[in-house]
Amino acid sequence: MIEMIRAEAYSAHQVREGRYRLAFRGKSQQQHKDIEDLTQKYEEFRIAARVIEEQLRVDLRSAKCRWLWHGVVDTLSARYYRLAHIPERYNDMIRVHGQHSQETGIPKEVQELLMTSAQYQDLKTVDNELLKRFELLMNEATSAVLRCRFRQPGGAAFLRPGRGSLGHIQH
């Protein structure tokens, strides 16, 4: 959990650094504001996306659902870094996430849907490919979650209808 928080803090720091560099690249004031708005929305999205991914890991029996969602997050993150002109973070994504299509811990049917390093690096087609993959992964993730069986909660935190906090049946 601590590593996750550190990674998110580092990512937010890199985003802010990238935002400040943009001010010196000759962008118009409106473009700078648009990128700031996009950056704020992206930071909010990353927090929510991390929570959803963790819920999928804990609540579902299927690695497929979690990896499909991870692919959705990867495509949106890559799209953001391209739009916000943060090449360092985009290149980091290519290096790390471009390898997902070959990782053994990821279900084969999901690997086939993820982008490769070569696809991330093809500057002529990458923007269209990111949008296409986002739609595909989102549709697959949604379908997979609807078909998955959730783990049954248990232990002290499990509340059953008709029972009070002391375990007595309420009438």
**Contact assessment for residue 79 and residue 67, using Cβ atoms and an 8 Å cutoff:** no
169 has a pLDDT exceeding 80: no
Q: pLDDT: is 49 or 161 the higher one?
A: 49
Q: State the pLDDT confidence band at 41, using cuts at 50, 70 and 90.
A: very high
Long-range contacts of 69-73 (CB under 8 A, 24+ apart): 69/141, 70/100, 71/100, 71/110, 71/113, 71/114, 71/133, 71/137, 71/141, 72/134, 72/137, 72/138, 72/141, 73/46, 73/49
The pLDDT of residue 4: 52
Q: pLDDT: is 136 or 151 the higher one?
A: 136
171 has a pLDDT exceeding 70: no
* Domain spans of the chain, in order of start: 2-147
**Contact assessment for residue 166 and residue 111, using Cβ atoms and an 8 Å cutoff:** no
| Sequence-separated (6 or more) residues with CB below 8 Å from residue 68 | 110, 113, 137, 140, 141, 144
pTM exceeds 0.75 for this model: no
Q: State the pLDDT confidence band at 67, using cuts at 50, 70 and 90.
A: very high
Residue 154 has φ and ψ, to the nearest 5°, of: -150, 180
Question: C-alpha 122: how far from its chain's center?
Answer: 22
The pLDDT of residue 24: 40
Q: State the pLDDT confidence band at 77, using cuts at 50, 70 and 90.
A: very high
Q: Rounded to an integer, what distance in angstroms lies between the CA atom of residue 101 and that of residue 78?
A: 15
The pLDDT of residue 49: 92
**Which tens digits make up the pLDDT trace of 96-147?**
888 998 888 999 999 999 999 999 999 999 999 999 999 999 999 999 988 8
